[in-house]
Amino acid sequence: PDSIALVYYSYHIMVGLGTFFIAIMALAAFLLWRRRLFQLPWMLWILLLALPFPFIANTAGWFTAELGRQPWIVYGLLPTVQGSTTTLSDGNALFTLIGFAGMYLLLGLLYVVLIVHEALRGPIIEEQAAREEAVPQKAQGFMD
């Protein structure tokens, strides 16, 4: 590969963030098991601030894979120079690019809408949920 430093650092970013995820999720799972997770604002802040890290780790892993195999498409067999096509028009490539970008934009917007909806709703407190379950409801009969 031409850019050894970029491959090296992108790999270490990916692995470092993966290790961080394992550690922080193990701690969060332990705190949730002990019913302390929602009483510790510092832990909730760490989880919130770690939200973009999976996307960064994914991109770093992609950089590692793609830059690490250059100049090969299939290592040792097919160089990238031989892997291009002359039959694909510019319009077809642009249409595909716009389609994928639109799909990811739509999925990203849906993700943001769902996260904001859940954040505005807030957590359900266990005592509140127990009280709501304990309220007697009118029995539905055959004639109701």
CA 41 from centroid of its chain's CA atoms: 22
pTM of the model: 0.60
Digit-coded pLDDT (tens) for 32-61: 999 999 999 999 999 999 999 999 999 999
What is the chain's length? 144
State yes or no: pLDDT of 24 exceeds 90: yes
- Domain ranges in the chain are 1-83, 85-135
